[in-house]
Amino acid sequence: MWSSRNMEPYFGFTLHFIDGNWRLKSRHLETLYFPSDHTAENLVLGLREIITVWDFRETDMVCLTTNNGANTTQAASLHNYLRLQCFGHRLNLAINNALKDQRIDKAVASFKKVVSACSYSWKKNVNF
């Protein structure tokens, strides 16, 4: 699930698999406009629709990769799908939490002063 810049809701489906030569492959199959409520039940209905359209078997699915939203977590658990947390989403959450730390603000302010001092002084701006 994701929202466009003007907050229109979409549901993306990407397939990850290992080919016959043991190489990881990814194919983005579809992005659907998804104006329905993003309940766990509706997410599973959307997923099943995509599975049907692409002629996949639900039994061939190994897992779902989702964010940590309660609706996506519940969708996976209600229907016994193995769920993997999205690394990118987890990293984004960790960075945002780290940026709330006042020590980070102090470090960034110090770095800005150093950059500013070097940028405005030809003597300090040495090309290495």
- One digit per residue, the tens of pLDDT, for the chain of length 128 reads 778 888 899 988 888 889 999 999 999 988 889 888 889 999 988 888 888 899 988 888 888 888 888 998 998 888 888 898 889 889 999 998 888 888 888 888 898 888 888 777 666 555 54
Whether the Cβ atoms of residue 42 and residue 49 lie closer than 8 Å to each other: no
DSSP code of 22? S
Q: How far apart are CA 59 and CA 119, in angstroms?
A: 60
Whether the Cβ atoms of residue 71 and residue 38 lie closer than 8 Å to each other: yes
The residue extents of the domains of the chain are 2-85
Strands (E), 34-104: 64-66, 83-85
- The amino acid present at 37, given as its one-letter code, is D
For tokens 């049907």, the residue is 52
Q: Model pTM?
A: 0.65
